[in-house]
Amino acid sequence: MNDQSSTLKIKRYSRNLRIAMTIFFWVAILATIVSSIATIIMASLSDSHFVLNSTSIGHAGFSLDGLIKYQLKDTSLIGTNMKSIYIAISIMAAVISFFAIPVLRQIVLILKSVEDDKPFAKENAKRISAISSTLILSSFAIPATKAFVARALVDILKIQNVSINYSINITLLLTGFMMFILSGVFRYGCYLQQEYDETV
Amino acid sequence: MGIIVRLDRVMADRKMPLNELSERVGISIVNLSNLKTGKVKAIRFSTLSKICKELKCQPGDILEYAEDYDEEKEEDH
């Protein structure tokens, strides 16, 4: 009885989480499309649309590391062409949301299988393995796009005494390796489930 | 594996239909049918014990070992 109620609880959590993940999945698709279109549109627009003028100075700002916010209040920046910065930011947004799509899709399918009482299936081991590959790949690609944005900012805004540091995202990399181990655990769980199902 | 399940023979001897045995033993008709046709990989001692109790027989009456019996070939046919 206790097992049954905990199973029902897990199923309920899975359902709620799946709904949330499905929403995030569609948001990620939308974000990829929007940022890709934005990149193309910005690339085709003339440079005059991106030149900083006296009204935009003071309102615009950026944050490179999420900790320090830089305000563009320097009047010497008037006339600077921000096109490359905006394009770099939209490329970064497209890359990050693009990597989120397969991860979220696989999570939705795994949660669906939990709801259907079939968590230990070969497909789930493959899905976790796919998540692992995506995370490992993104641990290199996402910092690269961030470095690309930082390079554009430093070059265009002529920020002095700043160097761009590229380092892989250790958290994503370790999570990717953990998921790879988890896929092996699921493969073994699938074998045990099959043995259990074929025993009367 | 050279294990042959002779459940159908014992059931016929005791004139016990599949659904009745399924009810008495407490396992599904599908599982019992799979056991009868030798489609399962393993049988729990608890299940074997219940079947023996209901059919009033010994495990040896239900299970038989044949050295030259090839289960996979049997399933293919």
Pull the structure tokens for residue B18: 């599949």
Contacts of B40 in chain A (CB under 8 A): 198-200
Q: Using alpha carbons only, give the angle A94, A177, A99 rounded to the nearest 5 degrees.
A: 10
Q: Is A50 helix (H, G, I), strand (E, B) or coil?
A: helix
The separation between CA B37 and the C-alpha centre of its own chain, rounded to angstroms, equals: 7
The pLDDT assigned to A56 comes to 65
Which of chain B's residues have a Cβ under 8 Å away from the Cβ of A198?
40-42
Q: What is the domain class of B3-76 according to CATH? A: mainly alpha
pTM: 0.77
Both tokens of A70, joined, read 């830089």
Residue B44, SS3 per DSSP = coil
Per-residue tens of pLDDT for chain A, all 200 residues? 577 788 888 989 999 999 999 999 999 999 999 999 999 999 998 888 777 776 666 666 666 666 777 666 666 677 778 888 889 999 999 999 999 999 999 999 999 999 988 889 999 999 999 999 999 999 999 999 999 988 888 888 887 788 888 899 999 999 999 999 999 999 999 999 989 988 99
Per-residue pLDDT tens over the stretch A53-90: 766 666 666 666 667 776 666 666 777 788 888 899 99
Q: Which two tokens stand for residue A111?
A: 């949660």
Q: How far B39 CA sits from the closest chain A CA (Å)?
A: 8
- C-beta atoms surrounding A103 within 10 Å: 21
What is the reported pLDDT for A57?
66
φ, ψ of residue A158 in degrees (nearest 5): 50, 50
pLDDT digits (tens, 9 = 90+) for B10-52: 999 999 899 999 999 999 999 999 998 888 889 999 999 999 9
Q: Would you list the domain boundaries of chain B?
A: 3-76
Task: For tokens 């590959």, name the residue.
Answer: A133
Cβ contacts of A199 on chain B, cutoff 8 Å: 40-44
Which chain B residues touch A195 with a CB distance below 8 Å?
41-42
Min Cα distance A119 → chain B (Å) is 21
Q: Name the residue of chain A whose CA is nearest to B46's CA.
A: A200
Report the gap between the CA of B47 and the closest CA in chain A (Å).
7
